[in-house]
């Protein structure tokens, strides 16, 4: 047992391991979406950059959680990540999938916070609140806006091209 471990319940440790794996899975999926939009046959550089940045961000979240797990005296348990889709069909499909994934991640973070709260672990609650919860809500809003805009500009053609160029400038 770790000498650093204090007031760190096993169920909270396990829930954090699940969240670490969820963040890594999301990173993997976003990297796949990046590769799809970066193909010469799709060629939407704004979306490619957006999803590459999103992949990096999710991996950073996982690393931050790994560091916290170790700081609290926990053990990190990584799981196998299944291969994500490689064909996303359209920008709208990819963004819609991503919005739903971010909602799942947010739900899991809220559950993680509830575990920590039930275990009377204010340090862990603060870690989740200060590092992840606000960012999740902001990401969901951004993706919802993107989805609305994609519906407005259409699935293909000049509207999508111009929208993608604006996204590239923004990110």
Please spell the DSSP secondary structure of 25-53, one letter per residue: HHHHHHHHHHHHHHSTTT--HHHHHHHHH
Could you give the CA distance from residue 125 to residue 88 in angstroms, rounded to a whole number?
36
pLDDT score of 9: 87
Counting beta carbons within 10 angstroms of the beta carbon of residue 10, is it exposed (0 to 12), middle (13 to 18) or buried (19 or more)? exposed
For residues 24 and 81, is the Cβ–Cβ distance under 8 A? yes
Q: Which tens digit of pLDDT belongs to each residue from 64-103?
A: 999 999 999 999 999 999 999 899 999 999 999 999 999 9
| Lookup: tokens for 1 | 């047992």
Q: How many CA atoms lie within 13 A of 161 on its CB side?
A: 3
Quick one: pLDDT at residue 42? 97
Q: What is the pLDDT of residues 137-151, one digit of tens each?
A: 999 999 999 999 999
Dihedral (Cα; 167, 169, 170, 171), 10-degree rounding: 90
pTM value is 0.94
What are the DSSP calls for 116-132, one per residue?
HHHTT-HHHHHHHIIII
Q: Mean pLDDT over all residues of the chain?
A: 95
More confident residue, 130 or 171: 130
Q: What percent of the chain has pLDDT over 70?
A: 100
3-class DSSP string for 138-170: HHHHHHHHHHHHHHHHCCCCHHHHHHHHHHHHH
């Amino acid at each position: 047992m770790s000498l650093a471990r204090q007031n760190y319940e096993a169920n909270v440790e396990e829930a954090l391991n699940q969240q670490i794996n969820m963040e890594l899975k999301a990173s993997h999926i976003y990297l796949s979406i990046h590769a799809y939009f970066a193909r010469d046959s799709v060629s939407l550089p704004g979306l490619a950059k957006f999803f590459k940045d999103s992949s990096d961000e999710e991996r950073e979240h996982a690393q931050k959680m790994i560091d916290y797990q170790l700081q609290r005296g926990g053990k990190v348990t990584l799981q196998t990540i299944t291969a994500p889709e490689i064909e996303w069909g359209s920008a709208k499909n990819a963004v819609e999938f991503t919005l739903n994934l971010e909602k799942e991640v947010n739900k899991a973070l809220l559950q993680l916070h509830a575990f920590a709260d039930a275990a009377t672990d204010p340090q862990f609650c603060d870690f989740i609140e200060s590092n992840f919860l606000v960012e999740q809500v902001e990401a969901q809003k951004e993706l919802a806006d993107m989805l609305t805009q994609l519906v407005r500009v259409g699935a293909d053609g000049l509207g999508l091209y111009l929208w993608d160029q604006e996204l590239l400038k923004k990110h």
